[in-house]
Amino acid sequence: MEELDKVTQATANTNAASQSEGAQSSEEAMRAVQLEHGPLLEVKDLQVDFTGEGGKPVHAVRDSSFTVFPGQWVAIVGESGSGKSTSAMATLGLLPGTGHVVGGSIKFEGKEISGYKPKDFVALRGAKMGLVPQDPMSNLNPVWRIGTQVKEALKANNMDVSHEKRSKLSKALADADVTVNNEGDETFIGSQELPALLEAAEKALIEIGIEGEKLSRRMAQFKRDWVAGSETRWRVADALIKSGVKDDDAWYIAKKYVTGSSLEDRIAGLLDEAGLPDAATRARQFPHEFSGGMRQRALIAIGLACRPELLIADEPTSALDVTVQKKILDHLQMLTDSLGTAVLFITHDLGLAAERAQHIVVMYKGQVVESGPSLEVLQHPQHPYTKRLVAAAPSLASQRIISVKSRGEDASSIMEHQVNAEKLEKSETIIEVDHLCKQFKLPRKKELFKAVDDVSFKLKRGTTLAIVGESGSGKSTVANMCLKLLDPTSGKVTYEGTDISSLKGKDLLDFRRHVQPVFQNPYGSLDPMYSIYRSIEEPLRIHHIGDKKSRHARVAELLDLVKLPSAVMQRYPNELSGGQRQRIAIARAMALNPDVIVCDEAVSALDVLVQDQVLELLNDLQAERGLSYLFITHDLAVVRQIADDVVVMQHGKLVEHGTTDDVFNNPQQQYTRNLLDAIPGGKLELGLDL
Amino acid sequence: MSAVDRLQPIETLPGQERYVAPLDETPLREVDSIDESAPATSMWADAWRTLRKNPLFIVSAILIVFIVFVALFPSVFTKENPNYCSLENSLAGSSANHPFGFDLQGCDVYARVVYGTRTSISVGILTTIIVVFVGALIGAIAGFCGGWVDGVLSRLVDIFMAIPMLLGAIVVLQMFRSSSSIWKVVLVLALFGWVSVARIARGAVLSSKNLEFNTASTALGSTPMRNLFRHIIPNSLAPVIVIATTSLGSYIVAEATLSFLGIGLPTTTVSWGGDISKAQSILRTDPMVLFYPSVALAITVLAFIMLGDAVKDALDPKSRTE
């Protein structure tokens, strides 16, 4: 414990030092400390089994080894089911269901913990190891205030700071000359004493001759930085010394005015550290009043509440928008760096891993297939699986996918496609959206909510138009209006020159035949009661096309189109993976030979490799059939791979509209630039030897 | 420190050297390949497979098949006429042709138990059929239409919910004492029983109405009515089936209770409830007269409740208690 305190101090100090001396030396100092301390977590040949049906063991993790050093970010990367979460949960002693460790060793701070009983783990969790879970929506208890849930984390680990630290401090203050020890310097500012502290600081600054503009700027910074329950005594002293106050005076002020915080202060401080503004008010709110990003910040505050040595972050941002993800991870990185916390970061996103972690562990089917320094592994992958992953990663560097046809493998159909294109030149625009608005009535609110506000764009025949935006930007509402699943409040959508709002009966059926959707959730868009055959056959049945035999042939043909064996026909959706279901959904959309397919976040729920496969498929279909896509996504990296034109939306408004190259190479709006910057690993070149 | 700065190659720490797994130990599989060996399973096939292995289901199914057989062909089990009573046999003990002996009126208890099965089973099944039909229809309409239709129908359900089934049945049956058909009991039980099914059906329809495949289907050109019959109703059936099987037993109990109270079936109809009622006066002298119809009633109800439990386990794997 003492040793680790040293590490914490060292990291904190090196972090402070890095500002003046540059990153390189701090990294060296860090490395020296890490070497001296040895690994924080050492997992060797770990084997985890689940008991399957009939008591048969299912090997979830086999012979996996990885090491985490103090203060380090280590990423475990892999697709769903690769055993990455299971490995992490095994170290926490939180294996779900029938999971149990059957072999190997897990050493934490040099102690073997794989044989620990649940009781032993309780002492370890929270205080030594924190967890930031994946789903911010379900991991906060909806009936407790956020602050109460943070308090629970503190109390469960006897970190009820106010009490014990206060008593210690009062004892220390009773001895005339206050002896400075680490414990005291880690005391937090209390909200009661903050005004007096600021006053004293101002006086001290004036005394050393700082005044006017400079003084008010300094004070403003102090007010911002010195958060009750979060900033410590030594940081206060440090800040004062940096502003020019003499060492002795600075320490005198710090010791006199920083005497300890109340529990409420500490809770607010923790939430503030996690990046929640106005934390004291927020602490009294309930989870449902928080957005996804704010909930994740609260979970980070809980995970770090007891200052664990190791934080396990299990896909902490996969449910969030990219810009929010960037903000949260930047903040978490800053926070863990200053606290010296090591982070075991579980993700499926290679870009994210490359950007955040120093060391990367690639897992596949329960085994570690490759590990090493992250950039080296991702730039020069050696295992075929890593190579495959890197090749499929939709990083910013990648270009639009080139279809099989355009690669020149089938010249005749290119000719055909060209003929088609000439014929259709007259009506180049297939869907036109004109000053589209949609307002919703919100429950318990008087004013209408503008989900879509004056959006206009044209979808050109045979091309892909991507609508990009964060959740709540109104992009899906636009898609639903283009599909005539929602009626616009004002403005219109025209398909082939006809306003679709007037379509009824037979004309509507005809429109439906030409414009087909593929939805986001591959688990929801197929009826679980329908076999795959019936699902794909459904549109044919609705439109009374063909007889039983020809429909069967058509379904087989469609399955072949999406590269699934025709044996799938008799199966049911629950037997297929997300990617396979999404391909079924595409086959269903293709059944009526549509002109336009509206893909509403069609690949967002899929693993990288599967996502890549589906995108390739969509692209090949477009080249073969001259399809037009309206592609709704939040993922700009995917846009680069598939779209010709991009529409960027924010808060229901169209922010930017241009060709993909223009938008990516020369974004006009700050919002677009933010989105581009937020793409994880966007600036890194991966897979150099591929 | 920006993100990129962190990535300057530094010497690796011990235990973090570059490692690549040997390929033969970690063979690569096709991306997103399909396991073609596993058998195809629909939800119903899955449910059937679970049911088949459930001992609760096996026991209850055997019992129910037997009970239904007795109800259909009572003459196979007894040659006696349950309505032929002669006072000279009053409370006579069991004999070869009359294994359960005779009651106070001198009727053959065994024959009455056997013939009583038919009454109980027909009341149970007929009530369930009517209840499911009416309840599911009203519930589905309420859930599917929403708005004021849902408002009106839901309040109607609430009103019926507020009336205890037995109390309501007693009041209504008092008015029709003269009628002697079992239909009067069936209809009264259905009148107060449909609400629970309607509630369940409404909830099930509401939740499956909002599932994405309905939107998908609409976008494919399907009409709302087609959605209702092709997607929403099939997806809402499971909970309705569960409540129907579990409540079948309770209708049988309700019929017996009403007959016991003397306001259910007419005394001329052979029924377990009526027999139990008659037997209570001689409970001290000859308890066995009361015992046999009670056991028959208990076994029948238990069989249906066990079946309901088994069906619930099979159709809703989440509710299973491991």
Neighboring chain A residues of B34 at a CB cutoff of 8 Å: 564-565, 567-568, 576, 580
Residue of B nearest to A73 (CA): B6
Average pLDDT for A640-646: 87
Is residue B63 predicted with pLDDT exceeding 90? Answer: yes
Contact flag B220-A512 (C-beta cutoff 8 Å): yes
Can you point out the beta strands (E) in A423-489? 429-441, 448-460, 464-468
Average pLDDT along chain A: 81
Long-range contacts, stretch A141-146, CB < 8 angstroms, 24+ apart: A141/A287, A142/A286, A142/A287, A142/A288, A143/A286, A144/A286, A145/A283, A145/A284, A145/A285, A145/A286, A146/A271, A146/A282, A146/A283, A146/A284, A146/A285, A146/A286, A146/A287, A146/A290, A146/A298
CA distances from residue B136 to B27, B63, B245, B290 in whole angstroms, order as listed:
53, 28, 14, 38
- Residue B228, domain CATH: 1.10.3720.10
Q: Which strand (E) or helix (H) includes residue A647?
A: strand A645-650
Neighboring chain A residues of B222 at a CB cutoff of 8 Å: 538, 542
> Least CB-CB distance to B4: which of A565, A580, A683?
A683
Strands B19-20 and A429-441: unpaired
Residue A690: what pLDDT? 63
Contact flag B29-A528 (C-beta cutoff 8 Å): no
Residue A184: what pLDDT? 58
Count of beta carbons in the 10 Å neighbourhood of residue A435: 12
Neighboring chain B residues of A526 at a CB cutoff of 8 Å: 213, 216
Instruction: For residue B317, name the pLDDT band (cuts at 50, 70, 90).
Output: low
Query: Does residue B235 lie in a domain region?
Result: yes
A324 and A367 in contact (C-beta within 8 Å)?
no
Instruction: For residue A416, name the pLDDT band (cuts at 50, 70, 90).
Output: very low
Separation between Cα atoms, residue A425 and residue A497, nearest integer Å? 14
Least confident of A21-25, B1-5, B54-58, B149-153: B1-5
Q: Say how many domains are in chain B.
A: 1
The number of C-beta contacts closer than 8 angstroms across A and B is 171
CA distance from start to end of chain B: 52
Neighboring chain A residues of B38 at a CB cutoff of 8 Å: 575
Q: How close does chain B come to A477, measured CA to CA in Å?
A: 13
- CATH code at A429-677: 3.40.50.300
Neighboring chain B residues of A531 at a CB cutoff of 8 Å: 40, 42
Contact flag B216-A525 (C-beta cutoff 8 Å): yes
> Least CB-CB distance to A373: which of B12, B38, B231?
B12
Chain B interface includes A408 (CB < 8 A)? no
Residue of A nearest to B18 (CA): A372
Residue A24: what pLDDT? 60
Chain B interface includes A42 (CB < 8 A)? yes
Is residue A176 predicted with pLDDT exceeding 60? Answer: no
Average pLDDT for B169-183: 79
Is residue A325 predicted with pLDDT exceeding 60? Answer: yes
> Least CB-CB distance to A572: which of B3, B6, B42?
B42
Residue A169: what pLDDT? 53
Q: Say which residue, A654 or B11, is predicted with more confidence.
A: A654
Tell me what ipTM this predicted complex has.
0.73
Neighboring chain B residues of A534 at a CB cutoff of 8 Å: none
Residue of B nearest to A364 (CA): B26
Neighboring chain A residues of B16 at a CB cutoff of 8 Å: 67, 69, 359, 371-373
Query: Does residue B187 lie in a domain region?
Result: yes
Instruction: For residue A16, name the pLDDT band (cuts at 50, 70, 90).
Output: very low
The parent domain of residue B186 ranges over 55-76+102-317
Separation between Cα atoms, residue A115 and residue B310, nearest integer Å? 39
Average pLDDT for B218-237: 86
Is residue A523 predicted with pLDDT exceeding 80? Answer: no
pLDDT tens column, B73-96: 888 888 777 777 777 777 677 777
Average pLDDT for A154-183: 56
Separation between Cα atoms, residue A537 and residue A555, nearest integer Å? 6
Residue B152: what pLDDT? 94
Query: Does residue B277 lie in a domain region?
Result: yes
Residue of A nearest to B226 (CA): A542
Instruction: For residue B1, name the pLDDT band (cuts at 50, 70, 90).
Output: very low
Neighboring chain A residues of B211 at a CB cutoff of 8 Å: 524
Contact flag B15-A364 (C-beta cutoff 8 Å): no
pLDDT tens column, A595-612: 899 998 888 777 888 888
Q: For residue A254, give every residue at least 6 positions away whose Cβ sits within 8 Å of its Cβ, in sequence order, or none.
A: A233, A234, A236, A237, A240
pLDDT tens column, A468-478: 988 778 888 89
CA distances from residue A222 to A17, A225, A485 in whole angstroms, order as listed:
19, 5, 54
Contact flag A525-B221 (C-beta cutoff 8 Å): no
Chain B interface includes A30 (CB < 8 A)? no
Count of beta carbons in the 10 Å neighbourhood of residue B141: 18
Chain B interface includes A337 (CB < 8 A)? yes
Residue B40: what pLDDT? 62
Percent of chain B with pLDDT over 90: 17
Contact flag B36-A572 (C-beta cutoff 8 Å): no
Neighboring chain B residues of A512 at a CB cutoff of 8 Å: 219-221
Instruction: For residue A185, name the pLDDT band (cuts at 50, 70, 90).
Output: low
Output phi, psi for A456, to 5 deg.
-135, 135
Residue of A nearest to B210 (CA): A524
> Least CB-CB distance to A527: which of B20, B218, B231?
B231
Residue A320 identity = L
Reference A471, options A282, A600, A327, A606; nearest CA is: A600
Is residue B207 predicted with pLDDT exceeding 50? Answer: yes
Contact flag A585-B216 (C-beta cutoff 8 Å): yes
Sign of the four-CA dihedral A651, A655, A659, A661: negative
Coil/strand/helix, residue B80: coil
Residue B155: what pLDDT? 93
Residue B3: what pLDDT? 43
Average pLDDT for A410-416: 40
Is residue A425 predicted with pLDDT exceeding 50? Answer: no
A110 and A67 in contact (C-beta within 8 Å)?
no
> Least CB-CB distance to B28: which of A385, A521, A574?
A385
Reference B217, options A597, A526, A508; nearest CA is: A526
Q: Which fold has domain A38-159+267-392?
A: Rossmann fold (3.40.50)
Is residue A76 predicted with pLDDT exceeding 90? Answer: yes
Average pLDDT for A558-581: 84
Instruction: For residue A98, name the pLDDT band (cuts at 50, 70, 90).
Output: confident
Separation between Cα atoms, residue A71 and residue A69, nearest integer Å? 6
A622 and A462 in contact (C-beta within 8 Å)?
yes
Residue A86 identity = T
Residue B277 identity = S
Q: For the whole model, what pTM was predicted?
A: 0.75
Is residue B134 predicted with pLDDT exceeding 90? Answer: yes
Ordered by start, the domain boundaries in chain A are 1-35, 38-159+267-392, 168-261, 429-677
Chain B interface includes A110 (CB < 8 A)? no
